[in-house]
Chains A and B, each alone.
Chain A
């Protein structure tokens, strides 16, 4: 068990002669002991790279990794006591399921008397008890992935368990089951878990804290609620939530921010420099109003639980989420924003704003 600290981690993969491209740029991050974290981001944003750096499969180009207060940057993977589960199932083909699960323990020289009950415990947790004596290569893809998960969970002395999109190959109905099992397991054993995924539902259901990455940077760390209500970057707004946040170009005058041709009643606290000022508002915080910004309704998607309405104002397209019970105004529809959840972004990053009187 350990608190994992990343200090100024940067990484670039060796490229022959071309300019150095940073797969990770400058990440400093503390993973508290016992936390359930999700590392969320689109493909190619450096999630796996970061994970491999933590587990020691990769050595970072710059920066240090600390477990509690020990610098482990130069320490080997097995000495770091990290468990890691990969995207595609890795099983040792010629071994039985039992031997697969026992493998990490055997390699560490544990006595048989400890291995056997431990393996049975994990097998029971993952519903593998019946296939313990079978050869691992005969199992289906999700059976194999369960073995991979089991090998990650079987060691009781690990500092952290890292999951690299472990449920990609699993059937949807099993996905739910396994994900809640993981969460339950986390509550039981209390080991730090870091879960890499590009699926927001997966991240939000599993984790206490979600770390959102974008183009090699950590753009926001927060609880699912924080990410939803206060996206610190327009990327977080887009990426989390379905549909994503509306981001609208705007400008300022003496009355504050003007957007879609009207004054929003919002000003930037400290007028900053930078080029582009934008307004971000989630579809959930846009509503039809008697007075407000006149719009034209383009499209209504009825999703059953709610309706997603696409409206157009001043040449901009917005999406809004309307409760199923509410009808869409047919004549001269107008919309308003919930100003508590309307944020200003300069060059993509959120800036402090306040409402005008």
Chain B
């Protein structure tokens, strides 16, 4: 029997197609459009092929920001993930303190990015900020507006403060879902605290940690507002991460072509890293 063909069904897909087109496809295509054209003003555009891509990929400036970006992301992942797990392990599993801890943990996540940047900017100012003044009071010369190292430390610290909670909450949820029988069996088997963590908790946290690391990777790789408000990318270019650099090129210099090419490369890097990471984690899962 022939399949009944009913083309009217496509009508039901139209709203979704429109929605996706307007909020993702069309903007992305404009970027693609700019990335392969050159303009000399007057709203006149000329075909430029992959010239902008070549230029961006060869530019020292792009290499430097990409490196900074990778360094920053690696650093915050190395701090936030272990710290988040540690905090989650310390949180009570039962009793009245559970809700108190959860609310305290959720607080940083509720603060808008630019407010976090502004808060830390003032907090870390060497002359009037609580933190900055204190560090200088301890005899350490600290000025994040002038010293690259201090700027990095402050930016990393700010991100850790803002986002470790996310790792904590996800890990905590994962920990709560481990059945009691596992802990009981471990006690019967005479397992040490470390063995319980290594052989029960960590394997059971596999999935939530994958999600946590992916989320933190993506967010930190695209970080803009906080460092922009805190350091403005300085001193010099020392905290100019990819997105800050991109905005400088696109809106500061109005180099639409290179900016568009850079956006696409940037997008591909995020996509590629996520895909590699996710596939690796899932393959690991499949083996088990």
- Residues of A whose CB lies within 8 Å of any CB of B are 52, 55-57, 76-78, 82-84, 86-88, 90, 92-95, 103-104, 107-108, 135, 137-138, 148, 151-152
Tell me whether B195 and A107 are in contact (CB under 8 A): yes
Q: A137-B288, A138-B288 are in contact. Are A55 and B195 (CB under 8 A)?
A: no
Residues of A within 8 Å of B184, CB to CB, are 52, 57, 84, 86, 90
How far does the alpha carbon of A90 sit from the alpha carbon of B203 in the complex, in Å? 13
The answer to whether A92 and B199 touch across the interface, beta carbons within 8 angstroms, is yes
Q: Which listed residue (B181, B190, B195, B199) contacts A86, Cβ 8 A?
A: B181
Does chain A have a CB within 8 A of B200? yes
**Top 6 closest pairs, chain A to chain B, by CB:** A78-B190, A90-B185, A107-B190, A104-B189, A77-B187, A92-B199
Within the complex, the shortest CB–CB distance from A83 to chain B, in Å, comes to 6
Residues of chain B in range 141-199 having any CB-CB distance to chain A below 8 Å:
179, 181-182, 184-185, 187-192, 195, 199
Apart from A77-B188, A78-B187, what are 11 other A-B pairs with CB-CB below 8 Å?
A55-B188, A78-B190, A86-B181, A87-B181, A90-B182, A93-B203, A103-B191, A107-B189, A107-B191, A107-B192, A138-B288
B287 within 8 A of A: yes
Pairwise interchain contact A108-B190, C-beta atoms closer than 8 A? yes
> Which of B179, B187, B189, B288 meets A103, CB within 8 Å?
B189
> B179 to chain A: which residues have CB within 8 Å?
88
Q: Smallest CB–CB gap between B265 and chain A, Å?
A: 38
What residues of chain B lie closer than 8 Å to A93, measured between beta carbons?
A: 203-204, 288
Contact A94 B203 (CB under 8 A): yes
Closest chain-B Cβ to A101's Cβ sits at a distance in Å of 11
Nearest CB to that of A94 among chain B residues?
B203
**Chain A contacts for B288, CB-based, 8 A:** 93-94, 135, 137-138
- B179's nearest neighbour on chain A, judged by CB, is A88
Name B residues whose Cβ lies closer than 8 Å to a Cβ of A. 179, 181-182, 184-185, 187-192, 195, 199-200, 203-204, 287-288
Which DSSP category, helix, strand, loop or mixed, fits chain B's interface?
Answer: helix
B192 touches A135 (CB 8 A): no
List, in ascending order, chain B residues with CB within 8 A of A92's CB: 199-200, 203
List, in ascending order, chain B residues with CB within 8 A of A90's CB.
181-182, 184-185
Q: Does A148 contact B185, Cβ atoms closer than 8 Å?
A: yes
Known: A93-B288, A95-B199. A151 touches B181 (CB 8 A): no
Complex contact A57–B189 (CB within 8 A): no
Q: How far is the CB of B281 from chain A (nearest CB, A)?
A: 14
Q: Identify the closest chain A residue to B191 (Cβ).
A: A107
Closest to B184 in A: A57
* Contact residue among B182, B188, B204 (Cβ-Cβ distance under 8 Å from A84): B188
* B202 CB, nearest partner CB in chain A, Å: 8
B287 surroundings in chain A (CB, below 8 A): 135
Q: Hey, which chain B residues are within 8 Å of A104, CB to CB? A: 188-190
CB distance from A191 to the nearest CB of B (A): 14
A78 adjacent to B188 (CB under 8 Å): yes
| Nearest CB of B to A290, in Å | 59
What's the Cα separation between A138 and B11 when bound, in Å? 45
* Complex-state Cα separation, A78 to B203, whole angstroms: 23
CA separation between A93 and B201, bound complex, in Å? 10
Listed A/B pairs (18) with beta-carbon separation below 8 Å: A52-B184, A76-B187, A77-B187, A78-B188, A82-B188, A84-B188, A87-B181, A90-B184, A90-B185, A92-B199, A92-B200, A92-B203, A95-B199, A103-B189, A103-B191, A103-B199, A108-B190, A135-B288
Q: How distant is the Cα of A87 from the Cα of B287 in the complex, in angstroms?
A: 26
Q: Which residues of A contact B182 (CB under 8 A)?
A: 90
Is B185 a contact of A86 with CB atoms below 8 Å?
yes
Asked whether, in the complex, the Cβ of B189 is within 8 Å of the Cβ of A88, the reply is no
Distance between Cα atoms of A52 and B181 in the complex (Å): 11
CA distance A76 to B189 in the complex (A): 12
CB distance from A14 to the nearest CB of B (A): 10
Separation of A86 and B184 alpha carbons in the complex (Å): 9
For the complex, give the distance between the alpha carbons of A108 and B199 in Å.
16
B86–chain A nearest beta-carbon distance, Å = 20
Listed residue (A76, A90, A104) with the most chain B CB atoms within 10 angstroms of its CB: A90
